Every structure is written in C-alpha cells, then in structure tokens.
Structure 1
C-alpha cells in the first residue's frame, strides 16, 4: 500500500515507517534512541485509514465486514490493516505496552476483527442516539403546541438568523445538555434528523389521535351529548352538518341512538322545528333532547333589552365613543395612566385612601366586546373608577386637538360624559349588569348542570325584580353623591321635563324630571330586561325541568319526590330503563330517601353534580345504581356551548394571518392538542416514540 504522507517524515528511512498496522514493527522493537522520533512521525502522519479498497467479509454468511463509516466517527485513533483485515488503535500502538494479559495486545499487535460484535454495539449506540434525537423533537413539538406557537420559519437554512420556533427551540434545548447537542441538527445523520415538516405533522397526528382515543375510552358505552357551532365560511345547511357529525361519530364507533342531549345556538339551521339540525337528530333518536345554549339566550336578552330602550341604547353608543377617544392611541393611554397616578398620589396625601400591597393599581379603560356583554360590565366599572382621570384626558385632547372635527368630537363626548342622565344610566347599568354578570360567568363554566343553571336564572330574575321594587332611592342617592363629588350639575327633580328643542320640543306639565328618570329610564330599562329574561328562559319551566328538580339536593332535598322521579324515567328515559328496572327504581328510591337524603354527608350539597360525585366517592352509586344512572342522564343535558366557543377562540390563536395556509388535518390535530393539553400532557415520550416507529418501517439505528 503506497504511503499517503511521504513528505511529512523525510528524516526517517522508508523501511522504518510501515503504514500497515498489522505488519509494522512494535515501538519497543526500535532502538531506544529512535522511539520518540518514530512516535512523532506516526503522530504527524495520523491513523492509517485506507478508503479506496474492497473490505472483505470474514465469515461464510457474507453479512459482516469492516465499515468505512467508522473512520468518520473515530477519525482520531482508528486504523485498519488490509493485510490482517483488522482494526487497530494508533495511540495504543504508540504508548501502550502489552502486559501479557489476554486481550491487552488486541489493538496493538493482534488486531480486532469481530465485526458482528462491533456492529451490534454500534447499532445499539445509534439506536440510543436516534431515540434521544426523536425525544427532543417530540418534547419541543409538544411544548410549541401547548403554547399555540408556529413551528416553521420563513428561512430554515443554516445561514438563517431565525430558523423557526421548532429548530430554534431544539437549539436552545441542546445548550443545556451536551448529550442532546451531540446528536441533534447538524450532528445528526442526514436522513434521521427528525426535524422536517412531515415529521412534525406525524408527531402532531400521533398526539391528537391519542387524545381522541382517550376521550373515546372515557365515554365508553355511556350516553353522551353533542355540542356544535358552525363557522361562517363553511356549508352550514342542517343536513350537511348532520352528515358530517354522523361521519365523526361513526369513525369512533359512537351510535346516534345513544345521544341524550343536543346543544346549539339559536340559528334557524340549528334549532328549526322541522328541518333544523336538532329536528333531524330527533327523528333518528327521539331522546336526544335539544337545549338552546343558555349563554346565547342571555346574550340575546341583554342585547335586545339595551336596544329597546332608546336612552340605554344611546348610552352604550356614547360609552363606545368615549372609550375610543380616551384609549384610541398609546399616547392617550399613557396620559390616562399618568392622570390616575396623580389622582392616587393626591388621595393618599389627603388620607382619602389607604395604602397597602396590591392596592391602588393603575389600570386602563376596558373596551366592550360586541359578542360578549360581560365585557360591558368591566367597561362600566372601569369608567366609574377612573372618571376624574378620563375627564382630564378628554380636556387635554380638546385643548391639543389637531383639527376642528377632533375638537368637536371631544367636546361633545365631554358634555355627554358630564351629564346627569349619562351618570344615572351608568350607575343603573352597573347594578343591572352586576346581577346578570354572575349568571353570565356561571353559564360559561366548563362544567355546569341544567338544574343549577336554572336556579341561577331564577335568582337573577328575583334580584332584578328587587332592584325594580326597592332600588330607585339608593340608586338616586348614589348618583347624586357621585355628581356632587365630581361637580356635575344636578337637575331639580320637581322641575318639568322638556323633550326636544326649539319649536319641536314637547312639554307636559305633569311630567317632572324625576318621573322621566325613574319611570322613563329606570323602570322601563329594568322591565325590558325582566321581560327578555322571562321570554328567553321560559322554556326552562317545562315538565322535564320540574321533574328533574326532584333530584336536586339543594336545601336538604326539599323538592325530592319519588313520584316525580319515577315519572321522569317513564316519560323521558323509557329507552334507558326496562320495565323491571322501573319497578326496581321505586324500591331503591324508598331506601335512598331514608339513607342518602338523611345522611349528614349529603346535607350541604347544592348541585346535582355534587350529588353524583358524592354517590361515587361513598360507594352508594353501586347500591343505588339506577338512581345513579338517572342522575348521569340528567347531567348529560348541555347547558351552553361555551366549550365550542372556546374552540373557536383557540382557532384564532392557531390559524393566524401567517399560518393561514395550514391544512385542515393539521389544523384539527393542532387544535385538539392545544384544547385538550391536560390529556395530551399525560402521554409518555416512550409511548409516542414507539407509536412513531410503528407507523412506518423506520430506521431506528
């Protein structure tokens, strides 16, 4: 074999440097005064690694032989002898002496050529590196999915300063672990980096399928309900929606006859009596009872009540205009916060307010959302709290306005803001929406039962009625006190009220200012609110709800009646109880009445869901299994579609302007992993990796 580096050792004779480690002399065989020189020469030349030769098989099966790729992974020390078909260690040859023990001279003079053993060891190492590399990719993909972050970058080349969140997160992870850094990205094999978009999609698909299967397993053979909301850019015909829903249910072996509840909004294609989605399902399953989303009902009640009363409708228009003026830019928002800080300092100096940790926080004026009337309550509260600061900002804008239009808009807003009528409606809406906000928040809970929701609706109506009967005097006193504090003109309540101006004004000698404010605004606004709540939620006072109330543990099971519970089963759930079970249910109810209803552990329960958990924990669900089954069926009825609304909110986070080309399957996988992150976080990395390798005939080593 020719010498690869003949010019690097000119002082030594060619016969003294034998490049083949299998036939060369041992260092100890050279004259002692030349040994160091020989060592330096070999170190300069480097390991002998012939590559352009044919490596022979060393067994009859022709399965194993030397692999030239080993030169790459061990380039600093590995040598190969063509004559001996064995590998050697250059540092061992130069500095280690055989000591006579078996195996001590393998890498020095004898050579190692057990390729099968070496390949198995190398395969195990590659397998370990591949799994570590894949584990890093899965962890990074799952973290980005939980945070609703984009994966890919505009330029993922090596020269790019930002290669996308996925690759950049892998790089960040590698900085904390040298073992990870040694196997990922550029240190990985070209065909096993596990960073391509295809790999990302497969990881997502595995996570999403595991989440879907976990949900399906949780449902088991139990009855279930469906919650549906539609997007505007899709075909939302009722029959199309039904076919799509049936396809999904069939995919997971969920039968339509097991549906026991439907929850949609009030759109005609959903709740139509003849051709709506709920009617189509009722034809296939007469026990799939439809419940119009209660949160949507409340939304409609608030919107219509605000539009029917002209003064209240104008108030909300003015409110939106004032908010847009005050927080319309970052500069104005900074001025508002600066004005609040000055106000707080002055009030602290005059001992009007106390200091403490977390007290006197500086905030901003909350914007009201068109589709979430709970946000209007926050806007009203923040306006009352920051009234002085808002007036100061409006005056500043009026003085520094860029043009006459801006001057006029701001001065008009200031006149409205400092009018007695605006302040009155402001405080009235705070009282009314403070009451309805409790119901609004309760209906948006992820877990809410129909009976408890009905109870909150009832208390909301009672509180609004009480406000109408007894709330005028306290409200007027609060409004007058507020006006005096902020130097707002208070009209004479006994003066005549004049409507309109100029020749078109109308005046009634019997109509006073107090009559206008109390009857024309206060009473009318509350009456419209009560009317809408009663009309929108009247369907709850049906026979079904009345009979279901017999299961309610509230007030020490005050409404519990055996007859009502039996009638509930016979009329609404005959498919779920045989005739024999209906007879047995009555016997169980007699024992239940003496056992559970009188038991001290069940006395303080207020909702039917608490009762269901209590029966499960105490083990009484096995004794009264028919009652437990009935309770679960009642709990299956949906209250609101806030779960689907949250899915649309998640879609806004995931499918942004920069990610609008995402495929439907990837979007669906991404959404279910993000929404059900609690479930997705329970799957182990090893489980995901094993499923990933089983998807295709992948190279694991």
Structure 2
C-alpha cells in the first residue's frame, strides 16, 4: 500500500485529527442551510460540489446550471510571461467556440470546465485531472489545443447513464417516431396485423403493425405492444380502442384486420374481430399470408390430447438423446448424433416447434426413418444411464414410442402435413399469384376430403406393417378400446376402430378443414378473386369490370350509389388507357401499378379505380415486411427484456424496429421533446 499512499508523520496526523472537525462542522452547517443566490460565480472561489452536504448536491448543481458558465467577456485579460519572454493571455474568442462549458476565473487567471465541476466523480487526490475543476488551467501557449482535448474527454465521460434519463430519452424517441407515423397516415385508409406473445410472467402481449398506402406505395409500420391484463374479448376491445385513441388514429378508417399469432389468444381474437367488424362493417378479415399456415394448422390439432402426446414424446426424445450424446463417448454416441440430425432438433425444440412447421414436418418424417436407431439408443440409456432419473425417462419414452397409438398418430400426421406443406410454402412466396394460391387452397381442401373418405384402409395397413416390422403390438379394430385414466364406470364403451377412425382420424382431418375454412371463408375467397382482377400482368388479362364493381360493394362507406355508376365508366376508360399505354405494359403486380399511376398522374384521372387499388393493397395478403417486423420483436423477447416495465419495453421496441424513421429525425427534435417532457429550467442545445 505504501507504493500508492505516503505514510504521514506524527505531526501531520496530529494536525489532520483536528482539521477535519472544522471542515465537517462547516459542511454540516452548509448542508442544513445554504443561500443558493450567494454561491460564488468565479470558478476559482467555488467550494467543491462534494464538500457540500449530499442532500443539497442537486440543488447546488441546478443553481450553477441556471447561472451558466462564468464568462467575463468584457474583462481585460492580463498577459502572462512564459519561457523565452513571450507573453500570452486568455483568448475571449474561446468563449464562442466552447460556449456551454468553458469558464474563466478572474481571481486565479485560469480556465475552468463547468461540466467537470458539476459532474466529475469524486475519486480522491489519486484520480488526478484537477486542471479544469479546482486548480484551473493557465498555459495559454497551448490553450486551444488543451481545451479541445478537454472537450473530447467531457463528451466521452459526461454520458446520460442514469436509468431515469435513459427512459426519458427513449420515450422522447418513441414519441417522435410515432408522431412521424401518424403524420404519414393522416386520414388514409389502413389495415391492422396483430401478433401475440407471452412475457416472463405468462401475460399476453399484442404486437401491432399498421399497413397503409402512401403515394401508391405500401407502407407497414410497427406501432408498439399492448399489455393484455385480461384475455377476454371485451378487455381486448377496450385495450384496442384505448391504444389507437392515444395515438390519435381514426378507427373508422380501418379496412382490414388480421391475426398472425399462435393459438394463445386465437379464440379471444375471433371474438375481438367480431366486435370490431360490428362497429365497422368495412373492416374485412383476410388471412395474412406472411403467417405460416402450417403453424395454425398444427396448433389446431394440438388441441387433441393424443396428438399433443405425440409432439411431447418427440420433444422428449430430442431432450433425452441430446443429454446422452453430451455425456457419453461411445459408439452409441454416433447413433445419438444421427438421431439429433435426423430430427432437426434445434428447430424442433425452439418454442416447441410451434412456429417452425416445415421443420416439424421434416422431423416427423425423419422419425419414421430412424425409428429403429431411436429405440436402440433409448434401450442403451435405460441400461447405462448415469442416474436413475435418466433411466426412468428412457423407459417411459420406450413405452410411449412402442405404442400403437403413437405410431398411428405419427403416420396420420405425416400424411396430412404432406398435403398442407405445399400450400403453406406457396402462401409465403413474395411473387404469389392470388388466383394460383386460391386454387391451391381448394386443391388442399379436396385432398383432405379424399383422404377422409378413402384413405382409412391404406393408412391402417401402413401402420400395421410398421408395427409388425418393429415388434409393436397391433390393436384389433373390432376389440374394445381401453380408455386411459378417469373413472372406468364413466368410460364410453367403443371399439378400437371407432376410436382410431372416428375420434382420431376423422376428427383431426375435420379440424384441418375447419381451420382452412376459417382462414379462407367463402366471403374472403370472393374478395380475393375480385382483387385478382386488378393484376396488370399479361396486359391486364385478369381484368373483369363486374367483379371490380362487386369488390367496391364490400366497402359501402367508401362508395356511394353515385360512385358505383361513375366507377363503371371509369373502369372502361381505365382499361382502354392501360392496355394502349406502353409505360403500363411491363408491370408485374398491383403495387407496381399503384406506384406507376401516381407517377403518371393517373390516380387523379381515375380516382375511384385508384381507391380500389388502395383497398386491395392494404389487405394483409402479401406482407414479407411484416414478417421482418415481428421477427425484430421476437429478437427482444428474451428474459432480460421481458422483465422491463411495459412502457419502457414498448418505447425501446419502437425505436429499434423503426430504425429508418429514427434515422430521419433530427436530434434537435428529440431534444426538444425531452425538454418538453422533463421541463428543464435550461434550454437543451
């Protein structure tokens, strides 16, 4: 310690033992009562901030901030003789260059830093760097260079690290970003896409994206998250209305609504959708093709107890085998690795595979291929496991997997998902053709119906052959089905065929068909067919005037009876103009057409046709950017961020997701917003 602290002599100790008493008494008296108006202005005469009582530090700081830096511009600065008999003095022009913090002491003929005096941490004499705080700087020969170096250090050291000020800054940023979005929307028509997720307390949150058309270009913006305290339809409606009223967005302009989340709030959202559409007849619901349809279909079948058991069993296989691979360096480790690779475990485990449906389809298909290896490895774990818990888990899995019910569900799901997989991929393509994917939806429905009507026997034969190959007992279809769990006297007496064919096979397929019908109802399908008539490709070959007039009738608030008659004439003129104009001959989609109409000024010539295009574009039917927006939200759904309070998390998300808007906002605007919120007694520059 003597290397860093010089040991005091006996005389020094005697002096120091009495001196602090005066200082402490003085400090105590100052902390109890201090006249802020009598604080010395000259920095050379000031008492250090840390010598005041801690309970008046902030008051003293505020007083000096209000006074501003001591800059006696009219003072006749004395000259100082330096080495070589050269004379130098303080240059008052430095006050203009460093106006916010540079000070001059007449008493000491030295320069000081106001920010350093107010905010530099107290670290004792060993900290050094007192030139700008207590001693002052007076080497005028290198004055400007030294002052610039001090300014650089100040900009690095004087950071806004207080939690409260960080929240205020983030809140100011969020407010300005939202204000920019609402100004862009103005009174435009828009649609809403909602995604739900759970925080660490398993409380539902709704992430909301708004879609509108600005000068022919589709724009999608993240508005924030809504905390759902009570997941009922009425509570959701109240939270929904309150959220948009605070933003000043007119709900009567809502024309589209879509839910792109999981099944967490699916039923509640359906009720919310009904409430919204009762108030606004023009707010149509359309399936969001950015959302993975497979995820929705899988979530539906997970409501069946035996199907949920299948997914749980596969997830447990990945977990148990993964632990075995990490702990054993044997020949069987290679088999374990091959199992994990085949089951694509990384994708399957993530959120239990809910949002990675293509991966789930591959996982279930691969399990059929590596089934023998899975059984062999589980048997090894059952015998050589490092503890009884691992052995028990392996035994339990062996019983679950080597069961006719598990094998039946596995084969059935692989067949069903093979039908829906192509449709799911087609719906997420960016270059999707509305007519083509509507045909795919119809084909998917027909295939599921055909499977229900004629594939029972072939499925049963396939399952029986697989069971025979792997020495699994095959259930006799005319035998009685044994219900697991529950009171035996209340169990319904049914045959195995009734259970597997009716309760399982027919039921699961019906659940898939019902979900497809909900996502693509007859009304929505007709609506999309009308939208397809606006497609400009192949010289507007899909154009159909009657269907476009029918499309307009879905929006009675936007078209009057007179408008329908005018629209008929406009459509005739419009199609002749489009087909005869070279600049519209190479367009590939509706969005290209809308932008080109604005550039060419045709949106003013055919305003009702342009309104049809706007209504078509705000339907959430092809939104790859929405996927990126919700993915950005998912990046922040970790344990640390989920523990943040709702407002701070919402403000942080808005600034993070809408980076392009944030980059366009001048820092002065954000500082002015911060000034308005905090009501500082000084002006931020």
Q: Tell me the TM-score normalized by structure 1.
A: 0.57
Is 2:547 aligned against 1:577? no
Asked if structure 2 preserves the Cα contact closer than 8 Å seen for 1:260 and 1:289, the reply is yes
Map 1:292-331 onto structure 2 (within 5 A).
Answer: 301-305=297-301, 312=307, 314-327=309-322, 331=326
The structural deviation recorded for 1:671 is: 1.6
SS in 1 for 2:187: coil
Cα deviation code 1:181-202 (max 9, x no counterpart): 9568974598x54333343223
Q: Tell me the TM-score normalized by structure 2.
A: 0.58
- 1:288 alignment partner in structure 2: 283
Give the alignment's Cα RMSD to 1 decimal. Answer: 5.9
C-alpha spacing 1:522/1:661, structure 2 compared with 1 (3 Å): closer
Map 1:542-621 onto structure 2 (within 5 A).
Answer: 545=527, 548-549=530-531, 551=533, 553=535, 560-569=543-552, 571-596=553-578, 608-609=590-591, 612=594, 621=603
State which structure, 1 or 2, has the greater radius of gyration over its C-alpha atoms: 1
- Stretches of structure 1 that go unaligned for 5 or more consecutive residues are 1-49, 54-61, 67-83, 94-107, 128-132, 134-155, 160-177, 345-358, 505-510
SS in 1 for 2:191: strand
The structural deviation recorded for 1:253 is: 3.7
Asked if structure 1 preserves the Cα contact closer than 8 Å seen for 2:325 and 2:336, the reply is no
- 2:130 alignment partner in structure 1: none
Q: Distance in 2 between matches of 1:196 and 1:185?
A: 21
Q: 2:653 aligns with which of 663, 666, 671?
A: 671
C-alpha spacing 1:521/1:194, structure 2 compared with 1 (3 Å): closer
- 1:279 alignment partner in structure 2: 275
Is 2:80 aligned against 1:88? yes
Map 1:8-19 onto structure 2 (within 5 A).
Answer: none
- 2:218 alignment partner in structure 1: none
Map 1:151-550 onto structure 2 (within 5 A).
Answer: 187=154, 192-228=158-194, 231=205, 234-236=229-231, 241-264=236-259, 270-272=269-271, 276=272, 278-279=274-275, 282-283=278-279, 285-290=280-285, 301-305=297-301, 312=307, 314-327=309-322, 331=326, 338-339=333-334, 366-367=348-349, 369=352, 371-372=354-355, 374=357, 376-381=360-365, 383-384=367-368, 387=371, 390-401=374-385, 406-407=390-391, 409-411=393-395, 413-414=397-398, 417=401, 425-440=409-424, 454=438, 457-465=441-449, 488=470, 524=506, 527-533=509-515, 535-537=517-519, 539-541=521-523, 545=527, 548-549=530-531
C-alpha spacing 1:538/1:206, structure 2 compared with 1 (3 Å): closer
Asked if structure 1 preserves the Cα contact closer than 8 Å seen for 2:170 and 2:652, the reply is yes
C-alpha spacing 1:551/1:644, structure 2 compared with 1 (3 Å): closer
Cα deviation code 1:101-135 (max 9, x no counterpart): xxxxxxx25x546x6434224428969xxxxx9xx
C-alpha spacing 1:435/1:680, structure 2 compared with 1 (3 Å): farther
Asked if structure 1 preserves the Cα contact closer than 8 Å seen for 2:169 and 2:674, the reply is yes
Is 2:618 aligned against 1:636? yes
The structural deviation recorded for 1:438 is: 4.9
Asked if structure 2 preserves the Cα contact closer than 8 Å seen for 1:305 and 1:528, the reply is no
SS in 2 for 1:666: helix
- 2:73 alignment partner in structure 1: 64
C-alpha spacing 1:383/1:682, structure 2 compared with 1 (3 Å): farther
Cα deviation code 1:348-367 (max 9, x no counterpart): xxxxxxxxxxx999975722
Q: Distance in 2 between matches of 1:496 and 1:240?
A: 48
C-alpha spacing 1:691/1:597, structure 2 compared with 1 (3 Å): same
The structural deviation recorded for 1:563 is: 1.9
Cα deviation code 1:262-318 (max 9, x no counterpart): 34587665544xxx56436633x432335587869975654444655x865654453
- Stretches of structure 2 that go unaligned for 5 or more consecutive residues are 1-42, 47-70, 104-114, 116-120, 125-144, 197-203, 206-226, 483-487, 489-494
Q: How many residues align?
A: 533
Asked if structure 1 preserves the Cα contact closer than 8 Å seen for 2:411 and 2:463, the reply is yes
C-alpha spacing 1:181/1:441, structure 2 compared with 1 (3 Å): farther
Q: Distance in 2 between matches of 1:236 and 1:549?
A: 34
